[in-house]
């Protein structure tokens, strides 16, 4: 787990414990301006905070698991040891390939782990005159062939999402 992600899990966990303890055992008296809040309202708010903090912990752990699975998948055996390819590198390679192929289009590339390789999702905004089916097929061919050749990774799938056209 990265340092900051671990720190975030720790802080959110402590906040969840404090909110849970406050909701379970303490009957605080809260006064907003001159209006006192009922203990039931205060406890309900503390339970909601407890659930939100636990949700934050779950999201951080899910992010860590996704990053860990990507790191595991992006290892390649080399002649003298392991070669690690960062997800950022794969995304940058894909972006460079698409920039050469789609000179007038806006796009984003996302990388997702699969069982035996990686999957890419490309979000495109094409020029009005472009043929969507031809461009999508070309993007899939280029990314599958070139990324596999350059990185040695198995590209399971390339999803192309067209977000409209640009003028």
Q: What is the pLDDT of residues 104-154, one digit of tens each?
A: 678 899 988 777 788 999 998 887 787 888 888 999 999 999 999 998 888
* Residue 94 contacts residue 160 (beta carbons within 8 Å): no
**Model-wide pTM > 0.75:** no
Half-sphere exposure of 89 (CA within 13 A, CB side): 13
Q: What's the rounded mean pLDDT across residues 66-84?
A: 77
Sheet holding 106-113: strands in order across? Answer: 106-113, 118-127, 155-166
For the chain, give the mean pLDDT: 85
Q: What is the pLDDT of residues 20-54, one digit of tens each?
A: 888 888 766 777 888 888 888 888 888 999 999 99
Tell me how far CA of residue 159 lies from CA of 92, 111, 120, 121, 155, in angstroms. Answer: 17, 10, 6, 5, 11
């Amino acid at each position: 787990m990265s340092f900051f992600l671990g720190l975030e899990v720790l802080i959110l966990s402590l906040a969840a414990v404090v909110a849970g303890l406050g909701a379970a055992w303490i009957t605080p008296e809260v006064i907003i301006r001159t209006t006192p809040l009922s203990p039931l309202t205060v406890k309900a708010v503390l339970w909601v905070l407890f659930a939100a903090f636990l949700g934050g912990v779950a999201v951080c752990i899910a992010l860590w698991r996704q990053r860990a699975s990507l790191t595991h998948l992006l290892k390649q055996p080399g002649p003298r040891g392991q070669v690690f390819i960062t997800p950022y590198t794969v995304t940058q390679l894909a972006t460079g390939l698409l920039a050469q192929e789609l000179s007038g289009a806006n796009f984003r590339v996302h990388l997702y782990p699969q069982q035996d390789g990686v999957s890419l999702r490309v979000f495109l905004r094409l020029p009005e005159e472009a043929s969507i089916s031809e461009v999508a097929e070309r993007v899939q061919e280029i990314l599958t062939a070139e990324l596999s050749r350059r990185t040695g990774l198995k590209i399971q799938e390339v999803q192309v999402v067209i977000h409209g056209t640009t003028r």
